[in-house]
Structure 1
Amino acid sequence: MAAEDANSATTKLLTLLNVSALKSRKRVRAIDDSHTQTKPSKRKRPIAFTEDDALETTPTTLQEDANPASDAVNADDESYDTKHGDPEDATSLHERHFGANPEALTERSRLQVDQSNWKTTREKVGALTVVASLLPESTPLTKMLAKKTAILERLRKPFLDRQAKQQQERIHVQNDLLSILSANFDLYHPAIPLNHHQCIREAIALHALDHVTKKRRRILKNNERIFNAKNGSEPPEDIQDQGFTRPSVLVLLPFRSFAVQWINALTSHTPPPSFQIENHSRFLSEYELPPDAVDKLATAEKGTYPDDHVEMFKGNMDDNFRIGVKLTRKSIKLFAEFYGCDIIFASPLGLRMSIEKEKSADFLSSIEILVMDQMNAMAMQNWDHIEHVLSHMNKFPNESHDADFSRIKPWYLDGYSAYLRQSILLSPFETPEMRALYHRKLKNIAGKIRVEKVWPVLEVPGSLDPIFTSFDCLNPQDEASKRFDYFTTQLLPKILKSAVQSSNTIVFIPSSFDFIRVHNYFRKQTGLDFTTLSEYSSNQDISRARQAFFTGKKSFLLVSERFHFYRRYKIRGIRNIIFYALPEHPQFFSEFLSYPFLDDGVDSTDVSCRVMYCKYDWFRLERILGTVGAKSLMQGYS
């Protein structure tokens, strides 16, 4: 099967090369005729150039004029001022990793990555405790991070000026992250505090902008070398500086409101009058709330809603979007065509729908930096969308898209781009799916770094003492079935025998699949009066269910974690709480334990709480009991 896949990839690449060769012959013409337009592709509308796009001093190369949507640079891409002086270190790290011939990309290094042969160490990077996974022959982490952050001077200086106005804590956070990112490591940060989100976005946006700038500078320099070659002489051969397609940065986000925050972070490094934001009014009209809409979360008095809920859901909550951003000499162009942009901001759902509609994911073939922000929210949407998008990353394109294969970097043609792609994963906490993605999908030969956090014990209201009940499970694939069997045969029968515990009882169920399974079980049982609250409940259903439970008409209330994530309602009438499994979001645990005390005259002795868990619930236990407490509980479990 592997041999068949390799042969298929080779056949596809050879086909693309042949198509490209035929197209390139058709495009040969004299320099003086460089402004002649070629026939546009049936699949893509050619990009129209304004007078501002015309070259001022140096004509374009033959390819870039014929193919405005390709990775070649157009005149307005001379944004990156090749004459501006920068220290050699500002580009050396970038060239060593993303250049045409990375020294570290060898057959041995690829084999070690495929075999997960990582050398893992735990070290300190500034204020961060990190777990670094490097290939055995790699330079030690401390030496690789010792160099000054390699950001271009024209970007670094304005950034430092803005940093001077920030709190020292945020400055240290940004510098620590940039030192990791500048060394081209993959970064997995699953412990981002709420007040650090914005400063982290600004640092990563600067890194992405710096990456695109260096890439475009290299292409511009090679364009100039080709143009300066004497007539009739062979052009320079070391000009492999592109991918199959132009987009090189992908940022996955859960809602449109986060796209607004990321665009703001990006444009903070490109302020006017040096840069203009094209189509900005259209962007605000489509990605912010309509002018007549009232954002209850943003305008509510502080404390009305939890801070994390306000931060997550203020603004436009639409989860189906995708937008291309092109960086030019004088502007940032929003709503650029995918094959003519540098950065793509999209939701997993929006990108998946685009892939399925076009039956192509060629715009993901040359992604060199992948950013996934607010992964906890994307996990509450549909993790399968993320898996679908990642399965199409860094694959051979189905069409040539008028690419000049003589300028494509060899490691793209060899199918090794996944070994050089830098991935940046961000979340306030981690889940097994995130950790699995970190271990299985990140193949960066430079290494990968995971930020580690020692979790404190979560504060719970009053003197409640939850009872943690374990069940045996030896295989993670059997976890859902074992949990259901224990709940229906052991825990629930005991509860139904007690008159006190079989009324005013809420069952919190994190997984949607488990929720459906338990819901169906309750429906089949006679004498069980219950109601439900899920992410699919209408406002009328929610009002009816809450009222029935509060008045005692319904003894049991089944609640899914997604319902609480999106709605965050306070539920009254609770006296008994069953956590079918601990919530992914740790604050949900303390919130549900506080709800019984919304009613007058309730004492902690009137409230019971039971928690089901197994050894595969480590991440959730750690966030509730603290790292030390979870280890102690697990030792007793084993």
Structure 2
Amino acid sequence: MPSKPRGGARRGGPPRGRGGKVRGNRSYGRGPRFDNARVADIEEVEDEEPEEDEPPSEEVSEDDASGSEGEEEQASSRPYLALMQSLSKESEVPHSKRRKLDHQSEEAKSSTQPDQEETGMVNEDEERDIDHVEEPEEGPETEIVVDDDDDDDDIPDSSDPFETHFVNPDQDQLQIRLKGIQEDEWIQSYTEQHGWRLIRNLPGNDPPGPALPTPIPGPSSLNLKSRLAEAARRKRPTFDKLEQVLYPLTFAYNDLLFCARTTKNAENLRRMACLHSVNHIFKTRDRVIKNNAKLSKQGDNGDFEPRDQGFTRPKVLMILPTRSSAVKMVNMICSLCEPEQQENRKRFDDSYVDKEVKFSTDRPEDFRDLFEGNDDDMFRIGIKFTRKTIKYFSQFYNSDILMASPLGLRMAIGSEEGGGGGDKKQKKMDFDFLSSIEVVVVDQADALLMQNWEHVEYIFEHLNLQPREAHDCDFSRVREWYLDKQAPHFRQTVVLSAFNTPELAELHRRFGRGWAGRVRVQPASYAGAIEELGSALVKAKQTFSRFEAPSAAAEPDARFEYFTSAVVPSLTKRGNAGGTLIFVPSYLDFVRVRNHFATSPALAGVTFGVVSEYTDLPAASRARSHFAAGRHQVLLYTERAHHFRRHALRGVRRVVMYGLPDNPVFYREVVAGYLGRSEQDLKLEPGQGVVRVLFSRYDLLKLERVVGSKRVGRMVRERGDTFDFV
């Protein structure tokens, strides 16, 4: 089973990470998805309190969590060592760094490193951090001495998007775009390529603007570093139709929101993201190294003054849902770079890889893809490149790529909230390592929605801010648009999701403000889950009921009013409630509905059980058993519980969807899976199964994925409010 959801408004148990450590309850863990800052009857939660055998929340120190997991020990715990280090730093003279590979075995390395606590990652027991790596902080672009035969394929080229976007952009066009961003003026256009719909927003008010990049046949059409080009052509000589569309958009540094990620195209998308990220890092790093050589040759009397750096070294941030997702990204990067050596690889495998087969093939494919392997959602790791080596667990300020879960990175940034009790000391925040991020990749964003989405927004709010400390930065070489606070408009954000949601659309609109423009790519049309199910619907009658809401803010109240006035009476009439599954997407709506069933006199004779994301496994098993046996007439079931557990429910005679799920796969699994299985078990007559779905015009995105693009417009606009499908 995947780890239990953490944190939240009420509680979260102490999940056990797959790396072998007991993860304590964290105040920043997974929480219920609070829609539009709604708070509805949350105070009335009585039966979702923590079990008595669960430990209380522990205070996690965040004073020095800006590195990889367990990167640094707090100075206060070892004052003498901190004092000696500070004295030694004063006597050090800056010098160029020559990379010397250490062929010492991993076991010998770990034995020579001091034990210390993993900041923000350990319980109160005396577990030690096996992933600790000590190294001094380097400057933003520390020179790495390489051989003289380094690639010479990065001569300025007007056809190279890296040159035209970061190094030598057209200043006239750039100023027009930046003015459009500042005044929030965007030109929207629609295009179709190879069966995919592209919705483009370009800053400025001068239509039509430059055309979108045309599809390309393969990696030979990309401006790749020579050391990557050969591997890319060998791994993927030709692109499929989707890759032909996405590759030119990604390599042109457009902010991209892709809304059709599946288990089938996941590897190709991962390869695209890794190839683009590593190519960007290599081009940035090699330019700095070669400019260093030019400065060294000209001496102190030259006029060459390059602008080729950011404030800090990290350039790529990858936000991922689980450690197993990080393993897949790392393996893809290695397959493209083909490094001669990987430092700390054994330590990485011990902490991130779980080869245990936890799920049988009868589990859905998307579920196994997400939760198979190490499903811990609390991690952060820095990755550093040299010419022939990849180093894992590098200190954040010495890293080129940062990989982290939203929770892990939120813990690394820290919080300004005061300490507990009488301690009014402000905790140290550190987000300077995010100041020079130029490419952000958010993979499996649909899975991140099921965690705590506030963490993702918090991270984006702290990207590309002016650093609080210098971090040995050579400001004479910092690009001018960094100094002018224009870095967010040069950063590229790539979001890969199985579907679109209002949260993702808002993230794309709010933070996708690059001067190259933003593009959303989605299927040209949706057939709908109803059509895709075909005969699997077991001839159940499906009724979609539309209710009216004056505004998005008033929609939750209107939904609850419609449910209590139009749906609940049909359940109590003539004892008709037996075998009713009520599917509730939002946790707050779930609390509201549950409290209504518990307190309403009209429902006093209706027995019910609950299964939410915060219900422990024994309680969930009892509720499912009572429902299947008929002891509970109604079962309340949340979308996040289904996402994390995919419970096998029996005894379902009718399904009431309080709201449509974001994931259309869930509609098929609930209707065809639960209802179909129950029809076989209970030997119901064909058509006896009933599905009732509540929706409003604000559910347009969800509705389209379920009923299809051809029907959704009519269902939202027509006068009638009831639509039947058989």
TM-based fold match above 0.5: yes
Residues 531 and 396 of structure 1: is their aligned pair in 2 closer, same or farther, counting only changes over 3 Å? same
Between the aligned partners of 1:180 and 1:467, the Cα distance in structure 2 is 41
Residues 549 and 609 of structure 1: is their aligned pair in 2 closer, same or farther, counting only changes over 3 Å? same
Query: Is 2:331 the counterpart of 1:296?
Result: no
1:362-377 matches, within 5 Å, as: 362-377=432-447
**What is the aligned partner in structure 1 of residue 699 from structure 2?**
617
Q: Is the 8 A contact 2:140 2:472 kept in 1?
A: no
Query: Is 2:694 the counterpart of 1:593?
Result: no
* Structure with higher helix content: 1
**What is the aligned partner in structure 2 of residue 468 from structure 1?**
544
Deviations 1:429-487 (A, max 9, x none): 11111111112221011111111211112125121221111111121111112111221
Query: Is 2:584 the counterpart of 1:505?
Result: no
Q: TM-score, with normalisation over the residues of structure 2?
A: 0.74
**What is the aligned partner in structure 1 of residue 607 from structure 2?**
529
Residues 204 and 609 of structure 1: is their aligned pair in 2 closer, same or farther, counting only changes over 3 Å? same
Q: Is the 8 A contact 2:258 2:495 kept in 1?
A: yes
Deviations 1:45-103 (A, max 9, x none): x99975349xxxxxxxxxxxx98622223225x48964433575487321221127662
Superposition RMSD in Å: 2.7
Between the aligned partners of 1:374 and 1:81, the Cα distance in structure 2 is 39
SS of equivalent residue, structure 2 residue 314: coil
Residues 574 and 407 of structure 1: is their aligned pair in 2 closer, same or farther, counting only changes over 3 Å? same
Alignment equivalent of 1:602, drawn from 676, 684, 690:
684
Q: Is the 8 A contact 2:97 2:144 kept in 1?
A: no
Q: Is the 8 A contact 2:580 2:653 kept in 1?
A: yes
Residues 248 and 575 of structure 1: is their aligned pair in 2 closer, same or farther, counting only changes over 3 Å? same
SS of equivalent residue, structure 1 residue 605: coil
Alignment equivalent of 2:392, drawn from 312, 330, 334:
334
**What is the aligned partner in structure 2 of residue 544 from structure 1?**
622
Deviation at 1:412, TM superposition (A): 0.6
Deviation at 1:104, TM superposition (A): 5.8
Letter in 2 for 1:69: E
Q: Is the 8 A contact 1:129 1:452 kept in 2?
A: yes
**What is the aligned partner in structure 2 of residue 457 from structure 1?**
528
Alignment equivalent of 1:579, drawn from 649, 654, 657:
657
Deviations 1:23-55 (A, max 9, x none): xxxxxxxxxxxxxx995499xxx99975349xx
SS of equivalent residue, structure 1 residue 268: helix
Query: Is 2:202 the counterpart of 1:124?
Result: no
Q: Is the 8 A contact 1:79 1:330 kept in 2?
A: no
Between the aligned partners of 1:51 and 1:306, the Cα distance in structure 2 is 47
Q: TM-score, with normalisation over the residues of structure 1?
A: 0.84
Between the aligned partners of 2:436 and 2:358, the Cα distance in structure 1 is 41
Letter in 1 for 2:540: L
Between the aligned partners of 2:229 and 2:326, the Cα distance in structure 1 is 23
Deviation at 1:577, TM superposition (A): 0.8
SS of equivalent residue, structure 1 residue 366: coil
Residues 603 and 193 of structure 1: is their aligned pair in 2 closer, same or farther, counting only changes over 3 Å? same
**What is the aligned partner in structure 1 of residue 553 from structure 2?**
477
Between the aligned partners of 2:471 and 2:549, the Cα distance in structure 1 is 51
Deviation at 1:145, TM superposition (A): 6.7
Alignment equivalent of 2:281, drawn from 194, 212, 215:
212
Between the aligned partners of 1:519 and 1:233, the Cα distance in structure 2 is 77
SS of equivalent residue, structure 2 residue 301: coil
**What is the aligned partner in structure 1 of residue 301 from structure 2?**
233
Residues 98 and 87 of structure 1: is their aligned pair in 2 closer, same or farther, counting only changes over 3 Å? closer
Deviates more, 1:605-614 or 1:136-145: 136-145
Between the aligned partners of 1:593 and 1:159, the Cα distance in structure 2 is 43
Q: Is the 8 A contact 1:80 1:329 kept in 2?
A: no
Q: Is the 8 A contact 1:80 1:216 kept in 2?
A: no
Deviation at 1:189, TM superposition (A): 0.3
Between the aligned partners of 1:107 and 1:124, the Cα distance in structure 2 is 29
Between the aligned partners of 1:400 and 1:84, the Cα distance in structure 2 is 31
**What is the aligned partner in structure 1 of residue 111 from structure 2?**
none
**What is the aligned partner in structure 1 of residue 54 from structure 2?**
none
Q: Is the 8 A contact 2:444 2:497 kept in 1?
A: yes
Q: Is the 8 A contact 2:259 2:497 kept in 1?
A: yes
Deviation at 1:360, TM superposition (A): 1.3
Q: Is the 8 A contact 2:444 2:498 kept in 1?
A: yes
Letter in 2 for 1:421: R
Letter in 1 for 2:581: I
Query: Is 2:405 the counterpart of 1:347?
Result: yes
Deviation at 1:637, TM superposition (A): 5.3
Letter in 1 for 2:281: V
Between the aligned partners of 1:214 and 1:80, the Cα distance in structure 2 is 16
Residues 597 and 85 of structure 1: is their aligned pair in 2 closer, same or farther, counting only changes over 3 Å? closer
Between the aligned partners of 1:439 and 1:470, the Cα distance in structure 2 is 28
Deviation at 1:405, TM superposition (A): 0.7
Q: Is the 8 A contact 1:472 1:482 kept in 2?
A: yes
Between the aligned partners of 2:148 and 2:407, the Cα distance in structure 1 is 33
Deviates more, 1:608-617 or 1:88-97: 88-97
Deviation at 1:105, TM superposition (A): 6.8
**What is the aligned partner in structure 2 of residue 280 from structure 1?**
345
Between the aligned partners of 1:509 and 1:81, the Cα distance in structure 2 is 61
Deviates more, 1:352-361 or 1:340-349: 352-361
Letter in 2 for 1:401: H
Between the aligned partners of 2:558 and 2:528, the Cα distance in structure 1 is 28
SS of equivalent residue, structure 2 residue 495: strand
Q: Is the 8 A contact 1:184 1:422 kept in 2?
A: yes
1:97-112 matches, within 5 Å, as: 97-99=165-167, 103=171, 106-112=174-180
Q: Is the 8 A contact 1:145 1:183 kept in 2?
A: no
Deviations 1:547-586 (A, max 9, x none): 1111111111000001100111120001111000011111
**What is the aligned partner in structure 2 of residue 318 from structure 1?**
376
Residues 494 and 52 of structure 1: is their aligned pair in 2 closer, same or farther, counting only changes over 3 Å? closer
Query: Is 2:556 the counterpart of 1:556?
Result: no
SS of equivalent residue, structure 2 residue 708: helix
Deviations 1:353-374 (A, max 9, x none): 1111651111111110011010
1:8-47 matches, within 5 Å, as: 40=89
Q: Is the 8 A contact 1:79 1:327 kept in 2?
A: no
Residues 214 and 457 of structure 1: is their aligned pair in 2 closer, same or farther, counting only changes over 3 Å? same
Q: Is the 8 A contact 1:82 1:221 kept in 2?
A: no
Between the aligned partners of 1:532 and 1:483, the Cα distance in structure 2 is 20
